[in-house]
Structure 1
Amino acid sequence: MFEVFKKELLELIRDIKTLFFVLALPMLIFPVIMALVGFLGSQAALKAEQKVHTYYLVNEQYGQAYAERVFYHKSFKKYAGDEQFTSIEQLKQAVREGVIDVGIYLENDPEKTLAQGKQANWQVVFNDAQSINFIYDRLRSLANEFSDSLREQTLVSLGIEKTKQQAILQPIQISKVDTADKRENLGEKLGAFIPYLLIPLVLMGASYPAIDLGAGEKERGTLETLLLTPVTRTQLVLGKFLTVLLSSLACATVTVLSMAVWVSVAIGFVELDTVKSAFSSVTGADFLLIFALLVPIAAIFSSLVLAISIYARTFKEAQNYMAPLSMGVFLPILISVMPNMELSAKTALIPVTNVALAIKEIIKGTVDYGLLSMIVIASVALAALLLAFCVRWFSKEEVLFR
């Protein structure tokens, strides 16, 4: 078995392409993704922040003070064309055609409606399909300022002092006291994202060598030579399995180390004290726990991809089988980010989902070590079952010589 393992390992080391996917890519993927997401997000936000929108205001006489606030706001410029719009439908059409960016329809005068004990109805017409859009928030903020001034004037006219107005308008003030610390808050939001990177990379680390060790051997015609050696088929499978497992674990190790390094680097550059204090509490022991969870997952993937590779006739056919498997891995990860999905005695038995949930709990700092042990036992049992199936699969002539 170990002779087969040494042979396959030497061939794996000589394969530059596989080494790149197993070692180099995990080292690069975290800084590239972090830098790319950060750069694109900041650029999109900056562009949206600085964009000046063309507006058209209908019934300006109903809110002169508001119209002045919008006119002098740095994010808006008044429509200078010759077209006239008098209704909501006309404003909608103008926005769709790109004539204006936003239409503001003042249906009635707030001073008059306030005297009647009613609310004025103003509408903002714009395209809200953009991912980052400040139009509505800014116009609403300006309207709220105008509304506050009207309310204050009305209450003063009724004999209510400014100092008492807030207490009358809101007799009870409720404040939130959050029992979750900063790490738990950020871990809940970002912890679910990390398994999306870690687990598929572990699968990738097993897939590339497995394809070559099974379907590749068939295509090159070297599998028959291996079968003629004085080594049992169980030993052959175990030797190949250890090679694939080592490759997957190497990918997992590099991935976790890369994540730890780049998180520490990011902490040094991030200016937000909240982010710093949260991630600085993620210790080396937490990263070791994440790695320990990835080991049985690596064994599960190694057994599975090796069985698929043994079944495939050619290298290309094995690659075709790996594609839906890669997509299938995302399904249990997706389940882990569903609302109210938490690590429990039930979810600890769901393959892949349990590890994704456990990684999130580790990042949050709220992991239950009893459930963690259950996950490891369940994952190891599944890996052993799949390995036994792989050995049985390799013993069938109709599979080896399809």
Structure 2
Amino acid sequence: MFEVFKKELRELLRDRKTLIFVVALPVAVFPLLFAIMAFISSQAALEAEQEVHTYAIINGNYAQEFTDKVFYHKSFALYKGDETFNTVEELTKAVKAGTIDMGIYLPSDAKQTLDDAKQSEWQVVYNDAKAINFLFDRVKELAKEYGDKLRTTKLLSFGVSEQQQAAIIEPIKVVKVDTADKRENLGEKIGGFIPYLLIPLVLMGATYPAIDLGAGEKERGTLETLLLTPITRTQLVLGKFVTLLASSIATTTITVLSMGVWISVAIAFVDLAVVKNAFSSLTVLDLGLIFVLLLPIAAIFSSLALAISIYARTFKEAQNYMAPLSMGVIFPIMVALMPNVELTSKTAFIPVTNVALAIKEIIKGTVDYTLVGLIFLATVIVAGALLAFCVKWFNKEDVLFR
């Protein structure tokens, strides 16, 4: 078995493509993905903040103070074309035609309407299907400021002080006292995406070498030679399995170390207090625990990938079979991302999902070590069963020589 392992390992180290997936990709994936996400988010926010939208307002003189606020707002520019607008229908047509981005219709004097004990209804016309949905919110905010001022002035005229107004308008003020620290809050938001990156990389570390170790041997005609050597088929398949496991563990190690290094770099150089406060408490023990949980997962993936590769007739056929395996792994990870799916004594026995939930809890700093033990035990049992199946699979002539 050890001789088979050495042979396969030497061939694996000569394959540059495999080394790229096993070594280079895990090192680069975290900075690359986070950098791309940060860049896209910052660019989108910057463009949304700097973009100026054309508007037209009807009966703006009914609320001059509000009209002036919209006019001087950095996100809006008054339409200065030749067209005139007098109704909501005309504003709607102009927005659909792209003449203006937004129209505001004030049907009456809000101040006079308030004196008459009525509510003034203003209409904002815009295309809600476009990526400028914040237009309504900004106009609503400006209108609220104007409306609050009218209300305050009116109530003051009735002899109601501003302090009394606050008590009347909001008799009960609910204050949130959050028991979760910043690490737990941030971990809940992004902790679910860490296993979404880690676990597929562990799978990748097993699948790419597995294709060559099984289907590749068949296609090159070297499998028959291996079967003629004075070792049992069980030793042969175990040697290949250990090679895949070593490859997957190498990917796991590099991935976890890469995550730790890039988080440390982010904490040291990125000026984000929230991120620093959240991840500064992520210890080496936490990273080690994540690594330990990924080990039996690596064994599961190695067994599955090897069984598929042994069954496939050709290299290309094995590649086609690996695609459904990747999709099958993504689904349980997505289950862990769903709301209200938590790590419990029940979910601790769901393969892949349990590890994803445990990693999330580790990132949050709220992990239950008893459940971690259950997850490790359950995953090891599944890995052992799949390895036994792989050995039995390899001993079937109709599988090896399809």
2:283 equivalent to 1:290: no
Contact kept? 1:210, 1:306, Cα under 8 Å: yes
- The 8 Å contact of residues 49 and 134 in structure 1, kept in 2 or not, is answered as no
The change in CA–CA distance for 1:195 and 1:164 in structure 2 (over 3 A counts) is: same
The whole-number CA distance in structure 1 between the counterparts of 2:282 and 2:87 is: 56
Give the C-alpha shift of residue 274 in structure 1: 2.3
Give the equivalent residue in structure 2 for 1:335. Answer: 335
Matched residue type, 2:299: A
CA contact (8 A) 1:48 1:134 kept: no
Structure 2 unaligned blocks of 5 or more: none
Percent identical: 67
Matches of 1:378 and 1:78, distance apart in 2: 65
| CA–CA distance in structure 2, aligned partners of residues 380 and 87 of structure 1 | 71
Deviation string for 1:113-166 (max 9, x for gaps)?
Answer: 322333222222223345575322321221111011101111111111234322
Shift of 1:12: 0.4
1:45-80 residue CA offsets vs partner (Å, 9 max, x unmatched) = 011101111011123233221111101112110111
Partner residue, 2:167: 167
Alpha-carbon distance in 1 for matches of 2:148, 2:159: 17
> What does 1:3-42 correspond to in 2, within 5 Å?
3-42=3-42
Moved more, 78-87 or 136-145: 78-87
Counterparts of 1:3-402 in structure 2, within 5 Å, are 3-130=3-130, 133-402=133-402
**1:201 aligns to what SS in structure 2?**
helix
Q: TM-score, normalised by structure 1?
A: 0.97
- Structure 1 distance, partners of 2:96, 2:330, is 37
SS where residue 63 of structure 1 aligns? helix
SS at match of 2:105: strand
Distance 1:132 1:89, change over 3 A: closer
Q: Deviations over 1:3-62 (max 9, x none)?
A: 101100010011111011100110001111111111111111011101111011123233
| Number of residue pairs aligned between Structure 1 and Structure 2 | 402
Look up the SS of the partner of 2:277 in the other structure.
helix
Q: CA deviation at 1:291?
A: 0.5
Cα distance in 2 between the residues matched to 1:320 and 1:287:
34
Return 5+ residue gaps in structure 1 as ranges.
Answer: none
In 2, distance between residues paired with 1:132 and 1:233?
64
Change (3 A) 1:192 1:93: farther
Query: How many Å separate the matches in 2 of 1:84 and 1:216?
Result: 73
Query: Deviation of residue 89 (structure 1)?
Result: 4.0
Question: How many Å separate the matches in 2 of 1:127 and 1:248?
Answer: 50
Classify the secondary structure of the residue corresponding to 1:179.
Answer: coil
Counterpart of 1:14, as a letter, is R
* Pairwise CA distance, 1:306: 0.5
Hey, what's the Cα distance between the residues in 2 that align with 1:235 and 1:79?
A: 80
| Residue aligned with 1:34, SS | helix
TM-score under structure 2 length normalisation: 0.97
User: What amino acid maps onto 2:64 in structure 1?
Assistant: Q
Give the conservation status (yes or no) of the 8 Å contact 1:300–1:383: yes
Q: Within 1, Cα distance between the matches of 2:348 and 2:222?
A: 42
